[in-house]
Homo-oligomer: A and B are copies of this chain.
């Protein structure tokens, strides 16, 4: 599915919920075996139960890799089970020099046919280009993440250079010092288009969303951090929505582990539906705003 397909799915489902399949083998309900096949059975039940309320599934590769070969197989089986009506994301946070990134792009866009992958920006342009070269696929670059560690480097102020490559003192633009994540958004957005590039912006950073939208008004944002991490859906939507809605809000643990009992899928469906019910009027209001 392309980004355009995602826009249509949002209108059809009245939802911009992404369910994160960060399935932890140690947290499966007791009636399922604590094996990779148990994870697949769990995922299939979650997908069946939630697909009416979401438009996307995000598979967190770490939770599958930690099970080794069997885990990789479980990732394949889970991906194959997701209906083609839903946008699939490999939450892999890859990024390496060009020829290595080409192999990662092949992994997640060909060997596994995900629609999108998350990518880390630290290594710069040639680490991201190989993903962007895939037509009809989407590359989702880390902008401002939802974790505490985002403060270490993403929130660091950077110093621009003038046309002679001299440092411009911040005294010259005291009202708008710039942070690293802002430079990442600005620079990376010039390498692709709103059709093949999205950004991760954590829901716990809602205060920064207005600012994000000044830099990248047209890109979709993948927003983790609602639910367990405490981000507010209302705030994220208020500050982050654009003409296309432009938000994909991910919830993982709050849905997966809504119940640890045999009724886990029903409880997951109930939580996913709650999000969908909250989202529907926001979508309607947004359509009116831009009508």
A105 → chain B closest CB, angstroms: 9
Q: Which residue in B68, B152, B169 is a CB contact (below 8 Å) of A169?
A: B169
> Chain B residues with Cβ under 8 A from A62's Cβ?
94, 96, 100-101, 103-104, 107
A128 to chain B, nearest CB (A): 8
Most buried by B among A72, A76, A112, A224: A72
Interface residues as binary, A127-169 with B (CB distance below 8 Å gives 1, 0 otherwise): 1100000000000001001111111111011110100000101
Complex Cα spacing A76 to B72, Å:
13
Task: Contact check, B73 vs A69: say whether CB atoms are below 8 A apart.
Answer: yes
A200 and chain B: residue at smallest CB distance: B123
CA distance A128 to B171 in the complex (A): 34
Q: Which of A60-116 contact B (CB under 8 A)?
A: 60, 62-63, 65-69, 72-73, 76, 91, 93-101, 103-104, 106-107, 110-112
Q: How far is the CB of A223 from chain B (nearest CB, A)?
A: 14
Q: How many copies does the complex hold?
A: 2
The residues of B that contact A146 with a CB separation of less than 8 Å are 97
Q: Contact between B63 and A68 (Cβ–Cβ < 8 Å)?
A: no
B124 touches A121 (CB 8 A): no
| Nearest neighbor of A24 in chain B, beta-carbon distance | B103
Nearest-Cβ distance from residue A91 to partner chain B, whole angstroms: 8
Q: How far is the CB of A117 from chain B (nearest CB, A)?
A: 12
Chain B CB within 10 Å, residue with most, of A94, A99, A123, A151: A123
Q: Which residues of B contact A69 (CB under 8 A)?
A: 69, 72-73, 76
Partner-binding segment picked from A41-49, A179-187, A241-249: A179-187
Q: What's the minimum C-beta distance from A171 to chain B, rounded to whole angstroms? A: 5
Given A152-B187, A154-B122, A170-B159, are A95 and B98 neighbors across the interface (CB < 8 Å)? no
Contact digits for A200-242, partner B, Cβ 8 Å, 1 yes 0 no = 0000000000000000000000001000000000000000000
The residues of B that contact A156 with a CB separation of less than 8 Å are: 158-159, 180, 183
Supposing A122-B120, A180-B153 touch, asked if A104 and B65 sit within 8 A by C-beta, the answer is: yes
Q: Which listed residue (B103, B121, B123, B183) contacts A66, Cβ 8 A? A: B103
Docked pose: A199 CA to B167 CA in angstroms: 27
Taking the complex as formed, is A278 at the interface, i.e. its CB lies under 8 A from any CB of chain B?
no
State the 7 A-B residue pairs at the shortest beta-carbon distance, nearest first.
Answer: A124-B149, A124-B152, A62-B103, A157-B159, A97-B147, A65-B107, A126-B149
A and B contact pairs by CB, cutoff 8 A, 9 listed: A24-B103, A62-B100, A65-B104, A93-B96, A95-B120, A97-B147, A120-B122, A122-B142, A152-B187
